[in-house]
Structure 1
């Protein structure tokens, strides 16, 4: 079985690591979530006629 350090990181892991402000503390089920910074949020609204 591959160890985490033996494989490359996914795109999601790279983006997440670049945006982490504070790493969550704790282990297992008691682990707190990471705090991340998102600098831009785009929403694409597709309009359609009412059904």
Structure 2
């Protein structure tokens, strides 16, 4: 809820954002970053091990 005092109008975070903060996006971004690192490592390491560099 918004309330007004001497310094102006204050709105709670969830009301201003229009959603609740659950923190799930941190896990989604962390897992996505980990999967991207693994995929890039595989793309780099497998050709190096098999000797099929261009």
Fold similarity call, TM over 0.5: no
Greater share of helix: 2
Whose relative contact order is higher, 1 or 2, with alpha carbons under 8 Å and at least 6 apart? 1
TM-score by length of 2: 0.22
